[in-house]
A and B are shown apart, each in its own frame.
Chain A
Amino acid sequence: MIGWVYRLLVGLLVILVTWDLLREKSLRRQAVAAMVLVPLVLRLLMIK
Chain B
Amino acid sequence: MAIRAARSWISGIVFLGGVAVVVSVSAVAFRDMHRDRPIYPGPGVTRVGMLSAYLGDLAGTGLDTEVYYLEGQTPGATVLVLGGTHPNEPAAFLAAVLLVENAVVERGRLIVVPRANRSGFTCTDPGEGHPQVYEIPTPGGPREFTFGSRATNPVHQWPDPVVYVNRLGQQLTGSEVRNLNRSYPGSPTGYPTEQLGHAITELIRAESPALSIDLHEASPEYPVINAIVAHPRALGLAVEAAMLLELDGMNISVEVSPVGLRGLSHREWGDNTDTLALLLETSNPAQGRLRGRTDAALVLTGQDKFYVRAGERNALYVRFTDRGWPLEERVGRHLQALVSLVEVYSAQHRQTPLVMQGVPQLRELRRDGLGAVLQPPR
Q: Could you tell me which A residues sit within 8 Å of B by CB distance?
A: 18, 21-25, 27, 30-31, 33-34, 37-38, 41-42, 45-48
Contact = CB atoms under 8 A, between A and B. Distances in A.
30 contacts: A18-B16, A21-B16, A22-B8, A22-B12, A22-B13, A23-B8, A23-B12, A24-B8, A24-B12, A25-B4, A30-B11, A31-B15, A34-B15, A34-B16, A37-B19, A38-B19, A38-B22, A38-B23, A38-B26, A41-B19, A41-B23, A42-B23, A42-B26, A42-B27, A45-B23, A45-B27, A46-B30, A47-B155, A48-B62, A48-B155
A37 B26 CA distance: 13
Nearest to A32: B15
A4 to B, nearest CB: 14
Contacts of A27: 11
* Range for the number of chain B residues in contact with chain A: 10 to 19
A43 to B, nearest CB: 10
A25 B8 contact: yes
Contacts of B19: 34, 37-38, 41
Given A33-B15, A38-B26, 19 more contacts: A21-B15, A22-B8, A22-B13, A24-B8, A24-B12, A25-B4, A30-B12, A30-B15, A34-B15, A37-B16, A37-B19, A38-B22, A41-B19, A42-B23, A42-B30, A45-B23, A45-B27, A45-B30, A46-B30
Nearest to A17: B19
Contacts of A22: 8-9, 12-13, 16
Main secondary structure of the interface of A (DSSP, over half): helix
A30 B13 CA distance: 10
Query: In the complex, which of the residues B13, B22, B156 has the most CB atoms of chain A within 10 Å of its own CB atom?
Result: B22
Query: In the complex, which of the residues A30, A31, A34, A42 has the most CB atoms of chain B within 10 Å of its own CB atom?
Result: A34
Contacts of A25: 4, 8
Contact of B8 (A30, A31, A41): A30
Contacts of A30: 8, 11-12, 15
A27 B23 CA distance: 20
Contacts of B12: 21-24, 30
A24 B23 CA distance: 21
Interface in B1-31: 4, 8-9, 11-13, 15-16, 18-19, 22-23, 26-27, 30
Nearest to B8: A25
Contacts of A37: 16, 19
